[in-house]
Amino acid sequence: MVEFEAVTKQFHSGSAAVDNLTIDIDRGAITVLVGPSGCGKTTSLRMINRMVEPTSGTIRVNSEDISSKPAAQLRRSMGYVMQSAGLMPHRTVVENIATVPRLNGQSRKDSRRRALELLDVVGLQGAMAKRYPSQLSGGQQQRVGVARALAADPPILLMDEPFSAVDPVVRAELQTELLRLQKDLSKTIVFVTHDIDEATVLGDKVAVFATGGRVAQYATAEEILRAPVDDFVAGFVGRDRGFRHLAFNSGEQLWVHPIGTRSVSELPKGNAGREWTLMADDGGRPVGWMAPDSPPLTDRTELVPGGSLYRRGDSLRGAMDAALSSPSGLGVVIDDGGKVAGVVKPGEVLSAIEQSRIDRNRGNGTG
Here the CATH number for the domain that contains residue 178 is 3.40.50.300
Out of 239, 269, 287, a domain closes at 239
Could you tell me if residue 137 is inside a domain? yes
Q: Tell me, yes or no, whether 71 and 170 share the same domain.
A: yes
Could you tell me if residue 365 is inside a domain? no
Running along the chain, 367 residues long, what does each successive block of 10 average in pLDDT?
94 84 95 93 95 95 93 90 84 90 86 89 87 90 90 91 84 88 92 92 94 92 88 86 79 90 82 84 91 79 83 88 91 92 91 81 62
- Alpha carbons within 13 A on the beta-carbon side of 219: 12
Q: Tell me, yes or no, whether 294 and 211 share the same domain.
A: no
Could you tell me if residue 245 is inside a domain? no
Report residue 290: phi and psi, to 5°. Answer: -95, 125
Could you tell me if residue 271 is inside a domain? yes
Listed residue (159, 203, 198, 153) closest to 143, CA to CA: 159
Could you tell me if residue 367 is inside a domain? no
Listed residue (272, 271, 243, 278) closest to 257, CA to CA: 278
Q: Tell me, yes or no, whether 108 and 162 share the same domain.
A: yes
Q: Tell me, yes or no, whether 200 and 299 share the same domain.
A: no
Give strand ranges (E) for 145-221.
156-160, 188-193, 205-210, 214-219
Overall domain count for the chain: 2
CA angle, corner 366, sides to 365 and 367, nearest 5?
Answer: 100
Could you tell me if residue 100 is inside a domain? yes
Q: What strand order describes the sheet that includes 331-334?
A: 309-311, 331-334, 340-344
Out of 181, 208, 239, a domain closes at 239
Q: Tell me, yes or no, whether 146 and 46 share the same domain.
A: yes
- The DSSP secondary-structure symbol of 296 reads P
Q: Which amino acid is at 56?
A: S
Q: Tell me, yes or no, whether 142 and 16 share the same domain.
A: yes
Residues of the domain holding 341: 261-353
For residue 306, give every residue at least 6 positions away whose Cβ sits within 8 Å of its Cβ, in sequence order, or none: 278, 286, 287, 288, 289, 326, 327, 328, 332
Q: Tell me, yes or no, whether 158 and 55 share the same domain.
A: yes
